[in-house]
Structure 1
Amino acid sequence: MDVLTEALASMRTGAPASVRTEGRAPWGLRMPPVAGAGFHVVLHGSCWIYPSENTFEPVALGAGDVIFVRDGAGHILADHPDTPAHVPRPDQYTEMRPPIGAVTLGENGPLTSLLCGNYHLDGTRPHPLLKQLPEFIHLPARPGRHPELAAAVTLLRAELDNPRIGSHGIVPALIDSLLLYILRAWIEDQPASTAVGWAAALRDPAVAPALSAIHDNPAAPWTVQSLADRAGLSRAAFAKKFATMVGEPPLAYLTRWRLTTAARLLREEDLPIGTVAARAGYANEFAFGKAFKREYQVAPGQYRRQARTAA
């Protein structure tokens, strides 16, 4: 089981929203906070990025660079840090082939082209993997570094510059893939000798198999001992290592993942509540309903109705 893919899928609540941004210097774009995680890909040209609250110095970006904004925090993109930034006016939006919108701003200087957008993630119960990420991740376009991410950016640029038959399906798939490529690149950039938290857990020879076992079969009657056996460690050593890297004890994470799995089934499948309970590892509907309501503050049936109404 791919733990990274499953963790992100458990939080996804819709397709990514994206806008092609064309700026001719001088230009400044103020991005308000959004629900979920934000991203930017510099397709052509160069620009600067910095947070609205000035929590770090402006960062220069070039063609091929990728930015990931963990919590969709407000920030600014501009041709230069001294350029005033504004939220685009309605008249600056132009039509573009779906599924990408477009905004044009600035004057007559050098052109910068970006793809800006956000992934709709449930921020009310973020997976601990996402919570451990830096607020801003900058992945520079370095030759030979993260070739799959670079290839995805190149393919995306080609489809946006010259839309053809199939682009309507190709572009959303590439944008979806970007999220996994971005997080994979960040995790792999962490030196093995100093990596901590989930960046270490997903590569650790003891913790990674235990996480995969939980994700592969959350309904199994896992115990700390049976997971430790998978990890090849003593019970005490495994429990300590797991809690240090993942951020919570093994059985607490197991419970979290069982209920996360159940919530996803309730949102996406038309299964009887009893079937959802069994797939999440609960012996009966009563035990499942009690645990689910403690975590989500509503009963499973009500949660399903609310999720379907919101969609």
Structure 2
Amino acid sequence: MYIEHTPALGNSPRPLPVEPALESLLSQSMLRVDIVAELHYCGSWFMDEPRYDCGLFHLVGTGECQVESPALTEALQLQAGDLVVFPHGDPHRLSSVSDDSASATSLICGELHFSSNTMHPLSHALPACFVVRAAHADNVFRSLSTMMVDVANSGLAGRQMLLNKLADTLFTLAICDFAQRQTDHRGLFAALADTRICKVLRAVHENPGHAWTMQCMASLACMSRSAFAERFAQLMKIPPMQYVTQWRVSMAERLLRDRQLSVASIAEQLGYSSEAAFRRLFKRVSGVCPGRIRSQDQDYLLN
């Protein structure tokens, strides 16, 4: 699925107001953004990207290009300053718009790595592809994208580190832009905009180790248990306690990468009464044991 938002016109659905709960989610996003290529093309060109196990994005620095993908119903034209994101690594092709040899295009390309691709709410909430148009973005986004292009073209020491940090901020702004333009009344971003459900989501994000119960969450939302359960499931498409479990497992995957923390301390931090209970639940939900997460992380560092 591809989603592109343009300014609301006439009777178009109004974007949902994004509550501060989005900040609590982004602060725990467990996302790593890496710039992997800075490309310069002229004349007729194309670049094929196969399916990846991570997300991909391309910022058009100068010039213009078009992008095609099975996730799109038609080719999209991209201008300087536009950002196209494939959060799930869907295959796509970038190419020149014309054969004009005088036309030059530059791209800054990067990868998005969630520490928990299967459990993190954002990995489920984002579509196969979305675009942030420079013409519709706010001044902060445009200024940051311009800064990235300037840094990419500079000879600054530490340029790669600077680009990675700028890209991390740019992607955060892209998610905020996407969320603020949402008109879908179901899903994570709709729940974050719900004045009652967002209180619960924010609390769960910030304190996953709390002894969460249906009654506790319903009280926080100022709703009856039945009304809360129905509203939460309507928006999030899963029951409240299942969301709590998935968030805890997502947090656990990040914590397991810190070798200074024992599995027992992580279990306690996330509200589990015993290490054994935590290990069983973690494997049931994620499909792998906690030790496998640590070995995968070690393999990544060695490579």
Range into which the TM-score falls when normalised by the shorter chain: 0.7 to 0.9
Residue 268 of structure 1: SS of its match in structure 2? coil
Q: Shift in Å at residue 304 of structure 1?
A: 2.4
- Which residue number in structure 2 is paired with residue 202 of structure 1? 192
Counterpart pick for 1:26 among 44, 65, 83: 44
**Paired positions, count:** 280
Q: TM-score, normalised by structure 2?
A: 0.84
Distance 1:269 1:203, change over 3 A: farther
Residue 135 of structure 2: SS of its match in structure 1? coil
Q: Shift in Å at residue 6 of structure 1?
A: 4.5
**Matches for 1:130-145 after TM superposition, within 5 Å:** 130-142=123-135, 145=137
Q: Shift in Å at residue 170 of structure 1?
A: 2.0
Deviations along 1:202-252, one digit per CA (max 9) or x if unpaired, are 222111110111111111111111111211222211111111222211111
Q: Which amino acid aligns with 2:187?
A: G
Residue 33 of structure 1: SS of its match in structure 2? coil
- Which residue number in structure 1 is paired with residue 62 of structure 2? 44
Matching of residue 273 in structure 1 with residue 263 in structure 2: yes
**Separation of aligned partners in 2, 1:126 and 1:218:** 14
- Which residue number in structure 2 is paired with residue 253 of structure 1? 243
- Which residue number in structure 1 is paired with residue 104 of structure 2? 111
**Separation of aligned partners in 1, 2:291 and 2:191:** 34
Matching of residue 187 in structure 1 with residue 162 in structure 2: no
Matching of residue 63 in structure 1 with residue 80 in structure 2: yes
- Which residue number in structure 2 is paired with residue 305 of structure 1? 295
RMSD: 2.3
Which 5+ residue runs of structure 1 have no aligned equivalent? 84-106
Which 5+ residue runs of structure 2 have no aligned equivalent? 1-20
Q: TM-score, normalised by structure 1?
A: 0.82
CA contact (8 A) 1:6 1:215 kept: no
Q: Which amino acid aligns with 1:155?
A: M
Identity of aligned residues (%): 29
Counterpart pick for 2:96 among 64, 72, 79: 79
Poorly superposed stretches of 4+, deviation over 6 Å: none
**Matches for 1:205-284 after TM superposition, within 5 Å:** 205-284=195-274
Q: Which amino acid aligns with 1:46?
A: E
**Separation of aligned partners in 2, 1:125 and 1:77:** 27
- Which residue number in structure 2 is paired with residue 16 of structure 1? 34
Q: Which amino acid aligns with 1:27?
A: W
Q: Shift in Å at residue 22 of structure 1?
A: 0.8
Q: Shift in Å at residue 18 of structure 1?
A: 2.1
Distance 1:134 1:166, change over 3 A: same
CA contact (8 A) 2:116 2:250 kept: no
- Which residue number in structure 2 is paired with residue 35 of structure 1? 53
